[in-house]
Amino acid sequence: MKVFILTLISSGLVLIVLNVGYYREWFNAKPSQYWFDFLKEKDDPGDEVAIKKTRYGIVYTISMRVKEVVEKKNMPHAVILFEPNSYYRDSLKIYGNIRAPEPAVFYYYTGLQGVWTNSPDVKKANFIVRITKNKGVTLDEIKSPQQLQRILDGFKKYPPIL
């Protein structure tokens, strides 16, 4: 009986704490929101890919489009160079909507190697992902070390950011 009473008292105290001040806001923003997102995804009639696109957003979509192009063109040793996100923010003014994936996240989604402009492996890059307002996402081949150097020189004033 003591255990039951202590369980009721502790449950009541937890409920009181979660319904007061800061903890109420936190509970509504975190655990409750996760639960409602889970319920929405659970009942989603879409397939697994549609759910992943919704959950992971534009970075996942860009990564998977690049992977599709690489597989279509049968490029076994593709190393993808990403334009810096500061370029999208400062030059194109589209950073809030679109950003390039981090190389580690890109590898996690696709299994392909990606590099940023300041990466030690940047000399291995043989393709570049370009994101523009008009064309969207394109994958262009880097045909020579001189072309790669021109691309890197063009992005010197744009450091990679998250």
Its pTM stands at 0.71
Give the CA distances from residue 52 to residues 46, 48, 87, 136, in Å, rounded to whole numbers and listed in that order: 10, 6, 27, 20
Residue-wise pLDDT for 73-97, tens only, equals 888 789 999 988 888 777 766 656 6
* Distance from C-alpha of 98 to C-alpha of 110, rounded to nearest angstrom: 19
Task: Give the pLDDT means over successive 10-residue stretches in the chain (162 positions).
Answer: 93 85 83 85 78 85 92 89 85 70 93 93 93 82 94 89 79
Q: pLDDT of 112-124, one tens digit each?
A: 999 999 999 999 9
pLDDT of residue 40: 80
